[in-house]
Each structure stands twice: as C-alpha cells, then as structure tokens.
Amino acid sequence: MIGLYDIMKKTSDLTEGKTGRVFLNFFFPMLFTNLLQQLYTFVDITIVGKGLGDNALAAVGNISVLTLLIIGFSQGVTNGFSVIIAQNFGNGNILTLRRSIAESIKLSVILSIILTGFSLIFLKNILLIMQTDFSIFNDSLIYGFVILGGLIITMGYNLCSGILRSFGDSQTPFLAIMVSSVLNILLDVLFIFILKAGVGSVAVATIISQAVSTVICVIRLLRAEGMQLNREDFKGDFILTSVLLKNGIPAACMNSVTAVGCMIVQSYINTLGVVYTSAYSVCNKYINFFMLPSVTAGFAICAFTSQNFGAEKYDRIEQGIRIGVMIGIISYLICGGIMVIIPDVLAMIMLNGHRTIQLTADFLRICGSLFFTLNFLFIYRSAVQGMGKPFIPMLSGFLEMALRIFVIVFFLPGIGFPAAAYAEVTAWIGALIINMSAYKYMMSDRYKIKKYS
C-alpha cells in the first residue's frame, strides 16, 4: 500500500526543514501564480475600458462586487476544506486524507450547483437592489450570467489548487495560471478587437481560461502517487463531512458577509452616477492587485500552519508568522508607497475621464497610507483558520461588513466619495484587531488547543 511518504516525494512537507527556506520556497510560486491571475484580471478590465469604454468598465466592475459574494463563498468553502486536508497531511493519516479529498469533491459539486442556480435566478433582482444605472444594466446582466454560469469551473479550480497547496505544491497552480493567463489575454484581444464582441465575450474568455487551469491541476492530482481515489474513498462519512463543513461554511460566510458589505457600499456609490461607479471599480482592481503579496502570504500561512498544527509543531507556526509579518511590511513599503506617491498615474492607466481619474487617485492615496493593516489582517486571519478556528475569522467578516456600512451610510452625505476609502480602512482595522487578538490568545495557551473543537 502506498503511504504518505510516496505522496510527499513529489510535494513539500512544510513540517520539516529550515522554516525560512521552506516557507519562501512555498510562497514565491504562489506569489507568481496570484500575480499572473491578477494580471489577466487587470488586462481584462484595461481592454474593456480602452476597447469598449468607461461604461462597459463600470458594468464589469459593478457585477464584480456580486461575483465576489458568490465566488467568494465558494472559495471560502474550498479553503476551509483545504485546512482539514493539510492537517491530515501533516499528521500522516493517509486514509483520512484520501477520504477528506473525496468528500470535499462531493460537497463542492453539490454546493456549486446550488450556488449557480441561486445566483442565476436572482441576478436581475440583485442588480436592481444595487441600484445599477440603466446605462450599464444590460452589460452587467450579460457578464454576470456568463461568469456565474461557469461557477462549477471556478470552484473546481479553487478546490484543486487548494488541495495541491495542502500538499505543499505551489508550482502546479503557477503553471496552470501561467497557461490560462496567456490564453485569456489572447481571447480578450480576439473577441473585442478582432471580432468586435461585447462585454459578455470577456466573461467567456475568463471561463475558458479557468477551465484550462482546472484541467492542468486535475492532471497533476491524478498523477500524484497514492492519490488515485477509489469507490471506498467516496463512501459517506458523516463525521468527516461535519468536520469539513464546520471549517468550510464559516470561511465561506466570512468571504460572503465581507462581500455583502462591499455590495452595499457599491449600491451607495451607484447612486452618485456612472463616473463614480467607474472610479470605484478601478479602485477595487488596484486594491486587489496590490494586496497580492499579503494574500499570498496568507495562503502560505494557512497551509503552513495547518500542516504544523496537525504535526503539533507550534514553534514552527510562530516562526512562519514572523516571516509573514515581514512580507507584509515589505509589501506595505512598496505597494502602499506606490498608491500614495503616484495614484494619478495608476488611475490614468485604466481610465479616460479627468473627474474619474481624480476620484480614483484620492481613494488610492487614503487606502495606501494604511495598507499595512490589510496586509497584517491576511497573515493573522490565515493563521487562525489554519489552526482550525474558522468562527473567529467569520465573526471578523461580520464586523468588516458592519463597519463598511456604518461609515458609508453616515459619512457619504458629508464627505462624498472618499467615504468609500475610509469605509475600507476602518473595516481592515476592526478585523485585524479581532484576528490578531485571537492568534495571540491561542498561542499563549497553545498546548490546550483541541483539534476541530
């Protein structure tokens, strides 16, 4: 019978070796993966803005807040599943490892079907609730139908890449995204500049590219020694299902309630006009891009913490956190500095209108000055998730939503569009305090932590 050692030969055991070297070898391929992922998202929005105009850009940005809710939920679920898979990998339980993967696949298929049906049925009503401007409504609807219709593909990639990260394999997702990024850019150019297609074609290009990246990850998993799942692995296991859902659902809820807060902010911004919607869309794109190093560090921390928590190596967890914090500080100095020093240049890359550029620059300058709080949030929240305590990050997600809504409701009438930026940084600070406090408390009492409690 093939054991855990055979699986580890082509993956990475994060519980052994010099912490810094092991962590960074795992971190950098993921960073390049996320950079490529954001690159083709960035190219998408740039091609839409320059090829189809600011209104089309506003339509894509408007629906992206909704897709953050649905796709964020699915990503949270698969990330939660990956924590359990990584813990089983760390403690060497090969039988439970295989069954947890099989059960994760079943649950992901079921949830993706439910989420797809729900999102497509209520998409039009949600756009109306968001007070989407009439001039961009149809484009938002078309883009949303395609993106959300392909949710099972998106969820499939998130699950497969999450499993690979649980095994310490960050190189295969990098290869997958590298191939799909090139394909996505080529399809964007083909559909918009050559075939003269509309906004919906951009969504089609994204889904096709994600399907390719999913296939690459699946092939890697099928070739992993000891990971050829059989019928026995797929037999129902109520206890294991409960453990997976106990970690997956809170992580999904954290992403979703955060997205709800963003949707409410988006709805208030939409009432100001399409110029403000375009500016807010571009601001979100840049925030998502510049937070990549800390997001990646968070993914690395989650997998690193999960494996070492399963192996009961708590000192290595603390060492990993220190490395993550250093990455967050360096990211703040570089990315936050760019947002503060040259926000006008960033805005002009995507936008055409003078007023839209000015609004975007003001937003980026405010967020850039406090960007370190977002970086640290990803580090500490991921550590808490990796130790199997998903409810604390979920509570922090509710706090983020409440703070965003409070700031936008009470300050938008007085100070205008900058209220959206202050809503962001206030939410980051509140969530950081909760997760950092929880991590400090758990590590001070680390030997009393009960797995899956």
Structure tokens at 152: 């099972």
Q: So what's the pLDDT on residue 447?
A: 46
Q: So what's the pLDDT on residue 399?
A: 92
Task: Write b or e for each residue in 175-207: b if 16 or more Cβ atoms lie within 10 A of its Cβ, otherwise e.
Answer: ebbbbbbebbbebbeebbeeeebbbbbbbbbbb
The single residue listed with the structure tokens 């939410």 is: 427
The single residue listed with the structure tokens 């007023």 is: 355
pLDDT in tens, the chain (453 residues): 344 434 444 456 677 778 888 888 888 888 887 787 777 676 777 777 766 766 777 777 777 767 777 888 888 888 888 888 877 777 777 777 888 888 888 999 999 999 899 888 988 888 888 777 787 788 888 888 888 888 899 899 989 988 888 787 878 888 888 888 888 888 888 888 888 777 888 888 889 989 999 999 888 888 876 667 777 777 877 888 888 888 888 888 887 787 778 778 888 888 888 888 888 888 888 898 899 899 889 888 988 888 888 777 888 889 999 999 999 999 999 999 999 999 999 888 877 778 888 999 999 999 999 999 999 999 999 999 888 788 898 899 899 989 999 999 999 888 888 999 999 999 999 999 999 999 988 887 654 444 434
Q: What is the pTM of this model?
A: 0.74
Structure tokens at 373: 């709080």
Radius of gyration of the chain (CA): 21
Q: So what's the pLDDT on residue 270?
A: 83
Residue 165 CA to residue 184 CA, distance in Å, equals 23
